Amino acid sequence: MNRVFFWMVCIGVPFSVLGSFYLSSTLMFIVYSLTIVALSAYIGRATESLAIVTGPRLGGLLNATFGNAVELIISIFALQAGLVNVVLASLTGSVIGNLLLVAGLSFFVGGLRFKRQTFNVHDARHHSGLLIFAVLVAFVIPEIFSQQVSEETTYTMSIAISIVLIVFYALALIFRLVTHRGVYSQPGDEPEEEETPEWSARKATIILGLTTAAVAYISEQLVHTLEDVARTFGWSELFIGIILVAIIGNAAEHASAVLMAYKNRMNVAIEIALGSTIQIAMFVVPLLVFLSFLIGQPMALVFTIPELIAMIVSIFLVISVTNDGDTNWFEGALLLGAYIILAIGFYFL
Amino acid sequence: MNRVFFWMVCIGVPFSVLGSFYLSSTLMFIVYSLTIVALSAYIGRATESLAIVTGPRLGGLLNATFGNAVELIISIFALQAGLVNVVLASLTGSVIGNLLLVAGLSFFVGGLRFKRQTFNVHDARHHSGLLIFAVLVAFVIPEIFSQQVSEETTYTMSIAISIVLIVFYALALIFRLVTHRGVYSQPGDEPEEEETPEWSARKATIILGLTTAAVAYISEQLVHTLEDVARTFGWSELFIGIILVAIIGNAAEHASAVLMAYKNRMNVAIEIALGSTIQIAMFVVPLLVFLSFLIGQPMALVFTIPELIAMIVSIFLVISVTNDGDTNWFEGALLLGAYIILAIGFYFL
Amino acid sequence: MNRVFFWMVCIGVPFSVLGSFYLSSTLMFIVYSLTIVALSAYIGRATESLAIVTGPRLGGLLNATFGNAVELIISIFALQAGLVNVVLASLTGSVIGNLLLVAGLSFFVGGLRFKRQTFNVHDARHHSGLLIFAVLVAFVIPEIFSQQVSEETTYTMSIAISIVLIVFYALALIFRLVTHRGVYSQPGDEPEEEETPEWSARKATIILGLTTAAVAYISEQLVHTLEDVARTFGWSELFIGIILVAIIGNAAEHASAVLMAYKNRMNVAIEIALGSTIQIAMFVVPLLVFLSFLIGQPMALVFTIPELIAMIVSIFLVISVTNDGDTNWFEGALLLGAYIILAIGFYFL
């Protein structure tokens, strides 16, 4: 299987660079998608090696960071083009995609192999608190309060709240990686048998960086074909922004989280799915708010009501499912079901 | 006591059939109510026998199914009469009635006898997830999104989401009764001493069927007297739909759940109260959406804002109370208190 | 340190009484604040002595009651002046102040000294249920339902729901102090070594009463200076009502809770922060609704949307943080962060 992905990458990447000049959008859409899948397999293997060397938290953080770098880059391009609403939509899509699709698929696939999968319940609750903090407090407040103030005030409020978010994202990292590293570990956190990583930490990081860069490039190309594909299939722009871009933009998280869950390394899978969501909400979103003012295309921290509601209900469902430190195929399916319902909603909106 | 109920049934049922031709609505209202109480006692005993034979989950499911069959039949009659809003109101009433009144009364009555009552915390969390999935995701999304789309699109969205709900209800049954049967059982789940059921499984099912049919018939008669009773006492139609119809329509669940709690068989009580709610939300509601289109009286999956808020706050309170697998009289009282507050709200609406 | 506070009280109290005739508002604002801090230290010590004698629950309840007496008195004066909106705003401020600022600061300060602090998880869940009951059910329902009914009906609904709230507050006290006293205690609830209280129960209660009275008097004076201070610094009235008045009005809770957390007596700290919030929501608010009709300045139980949302998100965050019976500096910081975000919102509103 690794051999297949190897050749898919060897053929797919140059083809993705050159092919766009000659072939139709719909055809290239398929080429891009397959190449991203193959590249994502490498990202998954690199993450796995790193997680063995660095532990699940740092490994998950690295995976989330490389994965979200793609979204950050795409969003900056979109901001420069003045597509503020598209940026907020694709960030929403990234949040619900990570929470429901990435977590759901990994719980489901892992659950098909194992009756019950357990993970560190303290980590899950730490994530729950941050999700509520970021989405329920920091995203809801400007939404509600902005309805009664001027646009100028909304911008000031957005920047102030963005600063709070980034400061607390930094504090959360200090908490988990410095002051309370290992304090909340529980038996069964580490794999029973000492595994040897496939690649060294250095090699894995380099491969992670290179494949992420390739995914970023191809994702960007792919985004450009979406308009044509959408027209061909009759999909709305919102549906593309929230559902399609998010699925593709989170390919790296998908591949890694599902692979980890399949190997019953649920702490890494959770870290990727929830940690990536938290990084989007507490780091990427506020950073983009700052950048939007530097670029001169101001973006307020104000989502639309459907976007906000979609994020809120996703968070409550994920917290309900992960709160006991135990998952199974049905809990994974339930998250996927919620994703389908949200996709139906955005499809018709 | 059983003897009293026996004679109440023997007199009440024929009297309910014949009396409606001769007596005033308010008088018949009292006859119907007493007969339903007596019949419900039989339903409770049949459920108890079944729960001993089949285990708490299947026993609770059977009770919920027979109980909700009544509501389904009444709703189909109401749909045919074009009373779409009444159907949605009585389904709302059924959800909050099961969550707050049935669960509240059984926790309260059980708690008067036992200091603390425990139940399977995994089952409670499984129910929590489904309640959030059904109400917070599947009911909220069409509500929010329908405000921005045409009526036609709302109907299509309603049918699509109804399909998802029914599929996941089926998956939930497969999960609990097939793939994960007994996986999440915990010590104390089964009664300490081997109880012998009062009736055989076959006899209990027949009695359950017959009494449920009688309750259904009398409930329907009773619904017709409600308009007169309401005029006599000055109650609004919404109050009748959400509060009165729901109390009567859930008589079977009430009787069984309270009886089970009184006998400290909390797993069955929880299964009846929460399982019945989930069956309403994930099976009866979507089924009625489908039937409404067949009947030609299309019903969208769109509740009013007060109905939706009432269901949402009920769910959060019930999850908060049941999440630790432990109840007492005060937690039961708290659910009843929330029901009183909602009843006050709907009374004045 | 105790000696410093002793002299601050000896000088500050008479100065607060006399100084207001001669000095500028901004100067007196500083005098009042410092005196309240010094008095609060006495309240903290008195609470600590009481908690050792009476146990954490009764000690916490006494502290909350004396603390909230201040708010009740200030609110009655404001009602008489017809400032209904200011009363609701300062009650909102008291709820979010206790939940986020008092709890947050005590978790944070305690967490700087101890890696992990644990407390009785049953008590925390009991509080969670009451918070959801009071705010999510009893405050949300009149808000949502009042939009569709007349003002007269809203008043009737408010009184009815207020009666329910007070009855259930009484039931909650009966539950915790009578029927289930000690039923939910867990190992580690009581301090390991038998501490001797600094003051006897009688002396502590007298000191608590006297200092609370002095704080009440000075708080009232301070409230009068706020208008000038606000004009000097350019703050909005809402910001003053919700943020400043609440910080000062909760000085007693602050001092006691932080001191208790610093001594790792988390059960008392939780009891003060959450118990005080519950007392505000379930006793002070409904009592003020009743009094408002007696005074002839009717106040409906209807908060503004921003106020209600602020309370709801605070509750979900606090429940998420306390639900596992374990806190650390980061969880405290997270609550403070949420308070900062809400303060930003109300500042710009």
C197 touches chain A (CB under 8 A): no
At residue C192, the pLDDT reads 47
Q: Does the beta carbon of B306 lie under 8 angstroms from any beta carbon of chain C?
A: yes
For the residues B214-240, what does the mean pLDDT come to? 78
pLDDT tier, C300 (very low <50, low <70, confident <90, very high otherwise): very high
DSSP C328: -
Q: How far apart are CA A267 and CA A188, in angstroms?
A: 10
Question: CA angle at residue B33 from B27 to B37, to 5 degrees?
Answer: 150
- Whether C196 has its CB under 8 Å from any CB of chain B: the answer is no
Q: Which residues, including other chains, have CB under 8 Å from residue A179's CB and lie 6 or more apart? A: C329, C330
β-pairing, C117-118 vs C326-327, is antiparallel
Distance of CA C1 to the CA centre of its chain: 25
Given the DSSP bridges, would you call strands B117-118 and C117-118 parallel, antiparallel or unpaired?
A: unpaired
Q: C45-104 pLDDT, tens per residue?
A: 887 788 787 777 777 777 777 778 777 877 887 788 787 888 888 899 999 999 999 999
pLDDT at res. C5: 77
Total number of domains in chain C = 1
Please tell me the distance from the alpha carbon of residue C64 to that of residue C11, in angstroms, as a whole number. 27
- Decide if pLDDT at B139 tops 50: yes
* A window 329-348, beta carbon within 8 A of B: 329-331, 333-334, 337-338, 340-342, 344-346, 348
Closest-approach residue (CA) in chain B for C121: B324
A16-35 pLDDT per residue, tens:
777 766 777 778 888 887 88
**A150 and chain C in contact, CB less than 8 A:** no
Quick one: pLDDT at residue C11?
78
In terms of pLDDT, which residue wins out, A73 or B95? Answer: B95
Counting every residue written for chain B, the total comes to: 349
C149 touching B (Cβ < 8 Å): yes
Distance from CA of C74 to the nearest CA of A (A): 27
Tell me the whole-structure pTM to 2 decimals. Answer: 0.91
Residues C307-331 have pLDDT tens digits of 999 999 999 999 999 988 889 999 9
Enumerate residues 6+ apart whose C-beta is below 8 A from C21: none
Pairing, β B117-118 against β B326-327: antiparallel
Compute the Cα dihedral for A181, A187, A189, A192 and give only its sign: positive
First-to-last alpha carbon distance for chain A, in angstroms, is 40
A-chain residues near C309 (CB < 8 A): 140-141, 144
- Hey, of A311, A344, A346, A349, which one would you mutate to test binding to chain B, going by the most B CBs within 10 A of its CB? A344
The backbone torsions φ and ψ at residue C2, rounded to the nearest 5 degrees and listed phi first, read: -60, -35
Lowest mean pLDDT among B203-212, B232-241, C83-92, C256-265: B232-241
Query: Which burial class, exposed, middle or buried, applies to B278 when counting CB atoms under 10 A from its CB (0-12, 13-18, 19+)?
Result: buried
Interface contact flag, C183 B340, Cβ < 8 Å: no
> What is the extent of the structural domain holding C75?
2-348
Q: How does strand A326-327 pair with strand A117-118? A: antiparallel
Provide the CATH number for the domain around residue B261.
1.20.1420.30
Q: Name the residue facing A340 among B145, B164, B319 (closest C-beta).
A: B164
**Between chains, do C337 and A179 touch, taking CB under 8 Å as contact?**
no
Backbone phi, psi, residue A62, to 5° = -60, -45
Residues 6+ apart with CB under 8 A from A42: A5, A9, A207, A211
Rg value, chain A, Cα: 19
Residues of chain A with pLDDT under 50: 192
A314 CB neighbours in chain B (<8 A) are 137
Query: pLDDT class for B188, splitting at 50, 70, 90?
Result: low
- Chain B positions in Cβ-Cβ contact with residue A124 (cut-off 8 Å): none
Determine, for residues C164 and B341 on separate chains, whether the beta-carbon distance falls below 8 Å: yes
pLDDT in tens, B38-51: 887 788 788 778 87
Option in A129, A157, A179 nearest C334 (CB): A129
Q: Interface pTM (ipTM) of the complex?
A: 0.88
pLDDT for res C188: 64
